[in-house]
Structure 1
């Protein structure tokens, strides 16, 4: 590699079968603390709703809890689904976080619902109007942070002057235009929607306009990693996330299940074309295999940072996977 590549953690506070929410939150804190020691730049939490397998729905609350239990790793949203929220409230929440944990909070914003349409309507019945106003609501949040005039009628006083970097998230090409026009970092969800990754990145680089926030483009892309001491062990661990992904595709959402031996039926499911397209950047194997796939991904994409999701049932196995990946990235960056 010709440049240093940052590496980060994406956590959904995934809920395993027979694991309580309180234990899930303890596991997230544990992961952040270990990630801090292993050189991960940031840990982001994703907003999802009405999913039994995901507990990061109150995203900013969990962010504050994790930030309080760590010292240096950046804590952020990957992301807050802006159409679900008032821009004023988002500014107030992140302004508060930015003052509580100076220079450690990231604001990642997306426009997907983070849930099904019925639940999205329950969250905010007029959210579709907000979807179309996404670029304008980004401007609105930025104004709340920049405002210094006491005469402004509506203010987010806890956000004014606070340093909270903003990131634009996307899983298609739409947000690439927005991030480029506004001169903001761009994060692509290639860990579950890789189809338009290269087209979106090309748009972002071509249309990027330097801003007060960013002089040149900065890109982050997501991958899934299940790393273990052997390829066989990693394959077994990956059956938990494989079955969870099948549930997402079929609408039969369930808790993350304990791993099982990879049998012929599961291999047939894994090799389904739809699932293969979805899991194009899901790397499963030992350290050398993960390194080979990661180097290929970084070479092909040219991204500045990679953010890693690892949906592994047992906490000790998950921590080991992140440890192995940190070793991979340290070798790549050496």
Structure 2
């Protein structure tokens, strides 16, 4: 199979979907790899390192799409990339389709087979291709929130960890998954008074153990959130519903409860955001203010640390890329129910039920969709 890797073109995105080690793994298995010129530069990987492992360097994205059977990316395809997709293509990347009806429609019209990193599951129901970026995003969320609390950046003028004789700031983390856990670890490490909210008692017990009882765990409800909001300096939204839009856990009305120049960081923004007042921002222009509260809603937080993120991501994705390349989409997905859950769009139809539900569409069963895909895919 011919595997193509284009340069990421989303604003402030510096990651790349394959490393030289990944190229070597594919080439040793008889696969062809096409890399767009400069695709790895943002992650400090020059073209020469790819070429040394057997990749062909091509001049532009058009050459990648024209010459490849499978396109491997990091972020969702932008409009110009969607226009280059064909029914013969397999697209393997983060998609986050639930809040983006326009992208969903574009992928349907392309006829391509589109597999989303974020909905692939393992045998335990976990999200192995989302987890590494969730770990990075959780750590960035606390770092960024602490930075945005500084007065020159519009914050309250508070040092999150405090100093002897001056109380530390308070951090509320809503959602106790991978993002929430790592965000809490950093907040605790900074010395902040930290609270983690979740709706699973079992998960709260795990968090107590994993965080060595160094923070308060709270059962998440509207009232419990409202009671703490007036006290906190930083709120990190880390809510995840697999593949679906994130629910709003803080409304605009509730912003009135917060301190002036407090900070909200919405890590759920890729899935529509978990604060009513959230809208996507970029690393270049990361914040905006609503009712006296600073909002940080960067949609690709891990893109700010591409050397770390690229290697963390590709460590997780590479076995799946190899499986698709060696066995083809039919055998690869049919042999692994968790991998099959990654199928979001195929044969012109949405195949992931939560996305279809959020967009008022009818989902086609994934196995039925696979039967409609030509064997060459």
Q: Which has the higher helix share?
A: 1
Q: Normalising by the residue count of structure 1, what TM-score does the alignment of the two structures yield?
A: 0.32
- Structure showing greater radius of gyration is 2
